[in-house]
Structure 1
Amino acid sequence: MPYRPRCAFVTIGQTPRTDILDEVLRMAQAADLDFDEYGAMNGLDETDIGAQRPREGERGFYTRLAHGGFVSVRASFIEQRLRRLIEIIDRRDYDLIVMLSTGIFETWDTRARLIHSQKLTDLWINALIAGPGPIGIMYHLPTAFDSNLAVNTALVQTTRMVKVAGESPSLDEAARLLRDTDIIVMHSLGYSDAHAVMLAGLVERPVVSVRRLVAGALRTALDELHHDARHPPAGDRQAGPDVLDKLPDSAEPLTPREQDVLRAALTGLSNKEIGRNLAISHRTVAIHRARALAKMQVSSTTELLRRALVKHGG
């Protein structure tokens, strides 16, 4: 069966977010993955959510609920729930986690590869700031602008900001304010590709949407995962792809990453060496190694090799 990466898409609101995810998957041409959606506010009813509306002067997130309506919720409440959710997701052996929200500045040390929409957008903006001309950044909410300045004060020196509230932006007003910038970034996954195309037509300038940035990062990550599955690193190739075939059957199938780690471990490589070859941390290697050995019902690679010798009459 062809290898299909497993991906978790995460939003600060409730799922499903077909309004965002369908377009991101189409842009990324991502028919070659299996995915699940998770929302930080999944399972909460309107009473629970209503109790978390931001107080005066308190930072909040504006996001969509399962029924399609939008709500503003205290940022601290969302961040706490999101932190717990990421921990749960990362124990489910996904290859990739994609954060489908900007405005989240916390980073997490995940075993899975992480596409962090805010960090990705920051990298783009910082690169554009280095250019000679002004750039425009369009936000859904004024509070989003204020939050970004708190983290990246360089923005205020060389950019023109537009604060547009609501899910349907006033493109005419944005075009008037940003007409003399060199390039515009639509700083929210709520802005669709159609919004970007319309704004570009009004200002006759390049417009970049965060959806495009996330889709590009997703396509790159999928290509790399497929490449890794087809071409194991040198430490793995030394053992040969048939090594696992000589081992006793596992209690449950090993994931592609567990197979990679186990092959490399059977060549005598340390966790740090395996980590360097696979471009993951040695702690992540240790986790995959432990899971693989548990599935093989052994406590060490030495015991595993001993059982392999018994199986083949060695």
Structure 2
Amino acid sequence: MKVGLITIGQSPRTDITKDIGPILQRAGIDYIECGALDNLSRVEIDSLGPESDKDYILVTKLLDGTEVKLSRSKIVERIQECISKLENQVEIIGLLCTGEFPELKSKRLLIEPSILLTKVVEALSPDISITILIPSADQERELREKWKDREGMIVIPISPYTSTPSDFRKRLKGVTADQLVVMDCIGYTLEMKRLVKNILKRPIILPRTLLASVISEVAE
């Protein structure tokens, strides 16, 4: 079976597939990628950035490793174009972003990590308390709306693209985490999950491996 993976940044996202590739391969799944920012100049990419703090902000990275912020309203059409490009080549499409995109349409099964995260947490317990990691403090408003049913949650901004292990240790030092930690960005790696687990001593949900596991489950 072949799966399409769509990033809001530039493809290929080898930083993501290094973690999810083995999971997909064990299930006999091949994948192809498409990026919403593929073939764009830096000037064109910059034009897709947020214009005010009221924008729904997404964070991704370019092929050269540069972190960029995008406006959801400006990028959603390009994500849809990737879906249209891939849906005649694959059986399943996985979105490599935990942002919310209710307007996306696909003729194929479209798996969105944002929905997986909220539903898995709900399934674990309606009342479970959570600590959430996000790439940027600029995203906190949208994050709190997304998780509005979780009162008293702790929100910790720390970039998966520019932060070092030392940055994680400093940022999380002294934090008393809730019952569950959600790393709410596809950019967080398996290595980062292990580091955070070692620091906070709590169960953790990592979106990229959750996505790959669900794709494998429905594909096998």
TM-score norm. by structure 1 comes to 0.63
What amino acid does structure 2 have at the position aligned with 1:23?
D
State how far apart, in whole Å, the 2-side matches of 1:56 and 1:173 are. Answer: 30
1:120 corresponds to 2:116:
yes
- 2:59 corresponds to: 62
What's the offset of the Cα at 1:93?
A: 4.1
State how far apart, in whole Å, the 1-side matches of 2:130 and 2:30 are. Answer: 37
CA contact (8 A) 1:139 1:163 kept: yes
Query: Which of 73, 77, 84 is the aligned partner of 2:74?
Result: 77
State how far apart, in whole Å, the 2-side matches of 1:136 and 1:204 are. Answer: 12
- 1:25 corresponds to: 21
State how far apart, in whole Å, the 2-side matches of 1:212 and 1:150 are. Answer: 24
Structure 1 gaps, min length 5 = 224-314
What amino acid does structure 2 have at the position aligned with 1:134?
S
- 2:149 corresponds to: 154
What's the offset of the Cα at 1:76?
A: 1.4
State how far apart, in whole Å, the 1-side matches of 2:172 and 2:64 are. Answer: 31
State how far apart, in whole Å, the 2-side matches of 1:30 and 1:116 are. Answer: 21
What's the offset of the Cα at 1:87?
A: 2.6
What's the offset of the Cα at 1:103?
A: 1.1
What amino acid does structure 2 have at the position aligned with 1:206?
P
What amino acid does structure 2 have at the position aligned with 1:147?
E
1:16 corresponds to 2:16:
no
State how far apart, in whole Å, the 1-side matches of 2:64 and 2:177 are. Answer: 39
Q: Give the structure with higher Rg (CA).
A: 1
Q: Secondary structure at the match of 1:15?
A: coil
- 2:133 corresponds to: 138
CA contact (8 A) 2:80 2:105 kept: no
Please report the RMSD computed on the Cα atoms of aligned residues, expressed in angstroms.
2.2
Which structure 1 residue ranges, 4+ long, deviate > 4 Å from structure 2? none
- 1:42 corresponds to: 38
Greater relative contact order: 1 or 2 (C-alpha under 8 angstroms, separation 6 or more)? 2
What amino acid does structure 2 have at the position aligned with 1:163?
P
Q: Secondary structure at the match of 2:173?
A: helix
What's the offset of the Cα at 1:190?
A: 0.9
Structure (1/2) with the larger strand percentage: 2
1:97 corresponds to 2:93:
yes
Per-residue CA distance 1:80-139 (angstroms, 9 max, x = gap)? 21123223322x1411101011113325342212211111112123334524x5221111
Structure (1/2) with the larger helix percentage: 1
> Cα–Cα, structure 1 residues 52 and 108, in superposed 2: closer, same or farther, change >3 Å?
closer
TM-score norm. by structure 2 comes to 0.87
What amino acid does structure 2 have at the position aligned with 1:219?
S
State how far apart, in whole Å, the 2-side matches of 1:153 and 1:34 are. Answer: 37
1:195 corresponds to 2:192:
yes
Per-residue CA distance 1:19-53 (angstroms, 9 max, x = gap)? 00121122344461222100011110112112233
CA contact (8 A) 1:105 1:119 kept: no
- 1:251 corresponds to: none
Q: Secondary structure at the match of 1:143?
A: helix
What amino acid does structure 2 have at the position aligned with 1:45?
S
**Between Structure 1 and Structure 2, how many residues are aligned?**
216
State how far apart, in whole Å, the 2-side matches of 1:141 and 1:176 are. Answer: 18
What's the offset of the Cα at 1:173?
A: 4.2
> Cα–Cα, structure 1 residues 21 and 175, in superposed 2: closer, same or farther, change >3 Å?
same
CA contact (8 A) 1:138 1:174 kept: no
CA contact (8 A) 1:128 1:135 kept: no
